[in-house]
Amino acid sequence: MQGPQKETGVGNTAEQTQAIAALREAYAAFNRGDIDAAVESLDEHIEWSEPAEFPGGGTYHGREGAKRYLAQSREVWAEVASEPEQFIVHGNLVVVFVQARVRAKGSNDWQDVKLADVYTFRAGKAIRMQAFADRQQALRSVGLEAPAG
C-alpha cells in the first residue's frame, strides 16, 4: 500500500499531478479575485464545507455555491491571500496545507493563519472540499498522522 506523498514525491500519477496543478491555479485565481476561475476545475456538483467558526461557515452545494462562499469570504476582509504550502496525496484525497493572510477592513494589522483543505477527487474533478481550522484534524479526518518534523 502506498503512503501519502508530498507534491514533489516520486510516484505521483499523472492524474495526481493534474489535480495538484488545478488546485494551485484555483488558489492563484482566488488570490487575484477571479472567483469564476477559482471554481472552474471543480465538479459542477461539488460539496463545499467550511467550519462553523469561519465567516459564512457551513456547507455549500455546486460550483455556484462554492463561488458564493468564496466571493463573500473575500468581501469580509480588506485583503486576503491563501497560499498553498504543501499538498499531501492519499488515494483520491488531496490535503492542502494553506497559509492564509488576512487584513480586516479599517486595520493595518495582518493575521497569519495555518489551515488545511481536504479535496476528494473523482474522475479528475474535486467532488468535495472540507476546510479545517486545524491541520492535524484534517490529517486525522483522512486517516493520516501528522508528518514528522
Residue 148 belongs to some domain of the structure = no
Domain count of the fold of the chain: 1
pLDDT by residue for the chain (149 residues), tens digit each?
Answer: 344 444 433 235 888 889 999 999 999 999 999 999 999 999 999 999 999 988 889 999 999 999 999 999 888 788 889 999 999 999 899 999 999 998 888 889 999 999 999 999 998 899 999 999 999 999 999 998 765 54
Our measurement of the distance from residue 1's CA atom to the centroid of its chain's CA atoms, rounded to an integer in Å, reads 26
- What pTM was estimated for this model as a whole? 0.86
First-to-final CA distance of the chain = 23
In a domain, 149, yes or no: no
Task: Answer whether residue 16 is part of any domain.
Answer: yes
Q: Is residue 41 part of a domain?
A: yes
Give a yes or no: residue 146 inside a domain: no
- Residue 52 belongs to what domain range? 5-141
Backbone angles phi, psi at 8, to 5 degrees: -90, 5
For 70, the enclosing helix (H) or strand (E) is helix 62-76
Q: Residue 21 falls within a domain, yes or no?
A: yes
Instruction: Please tell me the total number of residues recorded for the chain in this structure.
Output: 149
**At 86, which CATH number?**
3.10.450.50
pLDDT of residue 9: 32
Strand blocks (E) in 30-146: 42-50, 58-61, 77-90, 93-104, 110-122, 125-132
